[in-house]
Protein backbone atom coordinates (compact mmCIF):
# COMPACT_ATOMS: atom_id res chain seq x y z
CA UNK A 1 0.00 0.00 0.00
CA UNK A 2 2.88 2.37 0.58
CA UNK A 3 3.78 2.28 -3.09
CA UNK A 4 0.28 3.21 -4.17
CA UNK A 5 0.20 6.26 -1.92
CA UNK A 6 3.65 7.25 -3.17
CA UNK A 7 2.45 7.04 -6.77
CA UNK A 8 -0.66 9.05 -5.96
CA UNK A 9 1.41 11.71 -4.18
CA UNK A 10 3.80 11.91 -7.15
CA UNK A 11 0.86 12.21 -9.57
CA UNK A 12 -0.73 15.02 -7.53
CA UNK A 13 2.59 16.89 -7.34
CA UNK A 14 2.99 16.63 -11.12
CA UNK A 15 -0.53 18.01 -11.60
CA UNK A 16 0.26 20.93 -9.26
CA UNK A 17 3.49 21.64 -11.15
CA UNK A 18 1.66 21.64 -14.49
CA UNK A 19 -0.99 23.98 -13.10
CA UNK A 20 1.68 26.37 -11.81
CA UNK A 21 3.45 26.32 -15.16
CA UNK A 22 0.17 27.08 -16.94
CA UNK A 23 -0.52 30.03 -14.63
CA UNK A 24 3.02 31.37 -15.09
CA UNK A 25 2.68 31.05 -18.87
CA UNK A 26 -0.58 33.01 -18.84
CA UNK A 27 0.78 35.72 -16.54
CA UNK A 28 3.96 36.17 -18.58
CA UNK A 29 2.09 36.91 -21.81
CA UNK A 30 1.53 33.51 -23.30
CA UNK A 31 -1.32 34.83 -25.42
CA UNK A 32 1.07 36.97 -27.47
CA UNK A 33 3.31 33.97 -28.00
CA UNK A 34 0.39 31.84 -29.14
CA UNK A 35 -0.87 34.55 -31.51
CA UNK A 36 2.54 34.92 -33.16
CA UNK A 37 2.90 31.16 -33.43
CA UNK A 38 -0.54 30.96 -35.05
CA UNK A 39 0.40 33.61 -37.61
CA UNK A 40 3.62 31.76 -38.37
CA UNK A 41 1.77 28.48 -38.90
CA UNK A 42 -0.81 30.23 -41.08
CA UNK A 43 1.97 31.64 -43.28
CA UNK A 44 3.53 28.20 -43.59
CA UNK A 45 0.15 26.80 -44.63
CA UNK A 46 -0.27 29.39 -47.36
CA UNK A 47 3.23 28.68 -48.62
CA UNK A 48 2.47 24.95 -48.69
CA UNK A 49 -0.69 25.58 -50.74
CA UNK A 50 1.30 27.60 -53.28
CA UNK A 51 3.91 24.85 -53.55
CA UNK A 52 1.15 22.26 -53.97
CA UNK A 53 -0.35 24.19 -56.90
CA UNK A 54 3.06 24.58 -58.53
CA UNK A 55 3.81 20.87 -58.17
CA UNK A 56 0.41 19.94 -59.60
CA UNK A 57 1.04 22.17 -62.64
CA UNK A 58 4.46 20.63 -63.24
CA UNK A 59 3.02 17.13 -62.85
CA UNK A 60 0.32 17.90 -65.42
CA UNK A 61 2.94 19.14 -67.89
CA UNK A 62 5.10 16.07 -67.28
CA UNK A 63 2.06 13.82 -67.75
CA UNK A 64 1.29 15.41 -71.11
CA UNK A 65 4.90 14.92 -72.23
CA UNK A 66 4.81 11.27 -71.17
CA UNK A 67 1.58 10.73 -73.08
CA UNK A 68 3.00 12.29 -76.24
CA UNK A 69 6.16 10.19 -76.02
CA UNK A 70 4.07 7.08 -75.42
CA UNK A 71 1.93 7.79 -78.48
CA UNK A 72 5.05 8.38 -80.58
CA UNK A 73 6.55 5.10 -79.44
CA UNK A 74 3.35 3.25 -80.28
CA UNK A 75 3.45 4.74 -83.78
CA UNK A 76 7.05 3.61 -84.22
CA UNK A 77 8.76 6.99 -84.05
CA UNK A 78 11.80 7.73 -81.99
CA UNK A 79 11.29 10.28 -79.19
CA UNK A 80 13.67 12.80 -80.82
CA UNK A 81 12.11 12.70 -84.31
CA UNK A 82 9.58 15.22 -85.53
CA UNK A 83 7.06 14.83 -88.29
pLDDT in the model for residue 1: 47
Q: Which residue ranges make up each domain of the chain? A: 2-75
Q: What is the pLDDT of residues 7-27, one digit of tens each?
A: 889 999 999 999 999 998 888
Provide the pLDDT for residue 16. Answer: 97
CA distances from 63 to 3, 12, 17, 24, 70 (A): 66, 60, 57, 56, 10
| pLDDT the model gives residue 30 | 82
pLDDT in tens, 26-76: 888 888 888 888 899 999 999 999 999 999 999 999 999 998 888 878 877
Amino acid sequence: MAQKSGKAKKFILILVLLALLAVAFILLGGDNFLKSAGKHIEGAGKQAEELKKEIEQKAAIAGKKVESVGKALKEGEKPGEKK
